[in-house]
Amino acid sequence: MSSNHPHAGPLGLRRALLGSALGLPLAALGLGGAAPARAAGNGRILVVFEMSGGNDGLNTVVPYTDDEYYRLRPHLGIPAAKVRKLDEHFGLNPGMTGFERLYHDGHLAIVHGCGYAQPSFSHFSSMAYWHTAAPNSGEQTGWVGRMADQLRPQPEPGYLVNIAATQSLAVRSVKHVPVVFDDPERFVRVSEPDQGALLDRADPVSGDPNPMRSYLRALAQSAHDISAQVRSACASYRTPVDYGVLALDLNKVAALIAAGLPTRLYYVSFRNNAFDTHVHQADTHGRLLTYVSDAVSAFLRDMERIGRADDVVLMAFSEFGRRVPENANLGTDHGTAGPMFLAGRPVRGGQYSQPVSLSGRDADDNLRYTTDFRRVYASVAEGWLGVPDSSALLRGRFETFPIFG
């Protein structure tokens, strides 16, 4: 057993809260010095986990009985004997012991064939489509940000948290200002030079005749309070749960949940296009999946330990899959469809939707998607977070899966 500390991993400084916060109404700044409260509403929390770079779904959820898989991947195909078998057709990558355990415990859902029409093979464009839930549209707000707006129309500081060096488009909101940080110890306000003197005075003066000055002081107080709570939560958190080689920021999420922050929506990622495996994929991809599997399963064990397992669901995705045949560099190139994962005690585990057909791939050797990824978003929004109708959120109506009982 090891003691994991939320400060581990790459460090970075992020402008927090103030940059775009001038759109935040004064009523939203009531954080003050109050003790942290449990997430508002039904108390349910969603953690979105991004696997950036284009994860190879075929070597993640392996169709080990499909001869076409081995014909098209003579070197990269994972031998059936090594696959962690889920049923008579599919198994997990050998390194995914944590996911295997979750699946057999009934707490991991795999949704096959997730993608969208007219797919882009650009990391930037395709990720933007997943971030906005609006492929080929030019949408300016993120689906997680819009969900925050719908769940909490009156903004609440700390309701939406993005652990990253820079803010993700996925959390861009009309009403909420996401809390964005990387290294908790360096999570501080950064203001323009001419604002510094004013914003450093975080003690609002009662009866100040200047509404803008009063507003900025209240905003500064709110920013100060939430950043202090984040630093305190991460500095004090200790756990006996071993997150593996890389905690992938999930230990920071655990720290904030344990501290009782009002956050209902967390967004984290495996950064730097890690899953873009064009060259010598086999060992690298296996390690990446082990890191993800270990960190996610550890995070959910941590939720059990602190008594929040019934309140938390994690959803994992990647912006696209990989082309079916291996390439000449023993890697795979940008593709289309891939699996999505939902994990946690509230999840009704199993496999959902129609698996992709390797023999039915298109003329460019790409898989034809079987599931619009927004069906999974809709399932999470309605089935887990209690959004009555996700059609406005997702810019369309999408059939849900019975993933939540």
Is residue 394 included in any domain, yes or no? no
* Radius of gyration, alpha carbons of the chain: 22
Is residue 256 included in any domain, yes or no? yes
Is residue 378 included in any domain, yes or no? yes
Give the domain extent around 289: 21-384
Are 8 and 203 in contact, with CB atoms under 8 Å apart?
no
Question: Please, is 347 exposed, middle or buried when counting C-beta atoms within 10 Å of its C-beta (0-12, 13-18, 19+)?
Answer: buried
Distance CA 215, CA 226 (A): 17
Distance CA 82, CA 150 (A): 45
Distance CA 125, CA 19 (A): 25
pLDDT > 70 fraction of the chain, expressed in percent and rounded = 83
Look up the CATH number of the domain holding residue 300: 3.40.720
Which mean pLDDT values do the consecutive 10-residue runs of the chain (405 residues) have?
44 35 36 36 91 98 98 98 98 98 98 98 98 96 98 92 97 94 78 48 61 70 83 97 98 98 97 98 98 98 98 98 98 98 98 98 98 98 97 97 95
The residues with which 125 forms a beta bridge, in sequence order, are none
Is residue 301 included in any domain, yes or no? yes
pLDDT > 90 fraction of the chain, expressed in percent and rounded = 77
How confident is the model at residue 195, as a pLDDT? 45
Is residue 403 included in any domain, yes or no? no
Q: Where are the beta strands (DSSP E) in 238-317?
A: 265-270, 312-317
Which residues, at least 6 apart from 257, have a Cβ–Cβ distance to it below 8 Å?
45, 263, 303, 306, 308, 312
How confident is the model at residue 211, as a pLDDT? 80
For residue 58, what are its two tokens? 């075929």
Kindly report, residue by residue over 353-384, the tens digit of the pLDDT.
999 999 999 999 999 999 999 999 999 999 99
Distance CA 195, CA 202 (A): 12
| Cβ-based neighbour number of residue 169 at 10 Å | 17
Is residue 15 included in any domain, yes or no? no
Which residues, at least 6 apart from 124, have a Cβ–Cβ distance to it below 8 Å?
none
Are 319 and 305 in contact, with CB atoms under 8 Å apart?
no
Is residue 393 included in any domain, yes or no? no
Is residue 398 included in any domain, yes or no? no
- When divided into structural domains, the chain yields a total of 1
Kindly report, residue by residue over 79-89, the tens digit of the pLDDT.
999 999 999 99
